Amino acid sequence: MSHPFDAMGLTTLEGEPLAPDAYRGKALLVVNVASRCGLTPQYEELVALAQETAADGVAVLGVPCNQFGA
């Protein structure tokens, strides 16, 4: 069965397609994040949260929405 995020074409920070199997079977926390600007202090907390919850089957995905034309 495909996952709704499969059709979104998410990419990694390196610009590579995010493999659907990277998060299949996990609970997802999808966070709209700013990118390429000074409004990114939450990244450290998101990384810490991802590390703390990974063993519990939770994946944290930071996804920029490009609403600011970055």
Active-site residue, selected from the candidate residues 1, 7, 37, 55: 37
pLDDT in tens, 33-52: 776 666 667 788 888 999 99
Cβ(50)–Cβ(60) under 8 Å?
yes
pLDDT in tens, 47-66: 899 999 999 999 988 887 76
Predicted model pTM: 0.69
* Sequence-ordered list of residues with C-beta below 8 angstroms from that of 20, at least 6 positions apart, any chain: 2, 3, 5, 6
Cβ(43)–Cβ(62) under 8 Å?
yes
Q: Is 65 one of the annotated active-site residues of the chain?
A: no
